[in-house]
Amino acid sequence: MRRGVFIVSTVYDVPADQLIPRIAEELKKAKEVTPPEWAQYVKTGAHKEKPPINEDWWYIRCASILRRLYVKGPSGVARLRTAYGGRKRRGVRPNHFWKGSGNIIRTALQQLEQAGLVEHDKGTGRRLSNKGRSFLDKLAHMMRTEDAG
């Protein structure tokens, strides 16, 4: 038995489908991250036919953006629009890819920036701050130890 060994868990060690809802729950506690008043009426992109059904979709999107910035590195609104885009059904015409909503992503990034989890990096877009990286690593470690124990 080895003594003094401390296993550090990161976002890579926890599945995204388990981590993102947990991050969203923690973001609900932050007063800086709140859905705008228009969030209940909008679609998440021109490729969608209806608005989201889940009432907590704003927090889930913010959590997903945080995880994406952790895994993929610095990113701007344009690249995130492509990541959250999808296939537009156009009736009898062939389907085409359409980007996701830029206003949703931009507003979410601004709120995460106010919360101190994201910082603006000149030339490369937004990246996780040290506080944001620590926040995600602590949540991942808590989830990992809960599963082990």
Which domains does the chain carry?
11-148 (1.10.10.10)
* Per-residue pLDDT tens over the stretch 93-148: 999 999 999 999 999 999 999 999 999 988 899 999 999 999 999 999 999 888 77
Q: Are 128 and 70 in contact (CB under 8 A)?
A: yes
Per-residue pLDDT reduced to its tens digit, 46-76: 999 999 999 999 999 999 999 999 999 999 9
On whether the CB atoms of residues 64 and 116 are closer than 8 A, the answer is no
Q: Tell whether the model's pLDDT for residue 149 goes beyond 80.
A: no
C-alpha dist (Å) from residue 42 to 38, 47, 104, 124 = 7, 12, 9, 28
pLDDT in tens, 14-55: 999 999 999 999 999 999 999 999 999 999 999 999 999 999
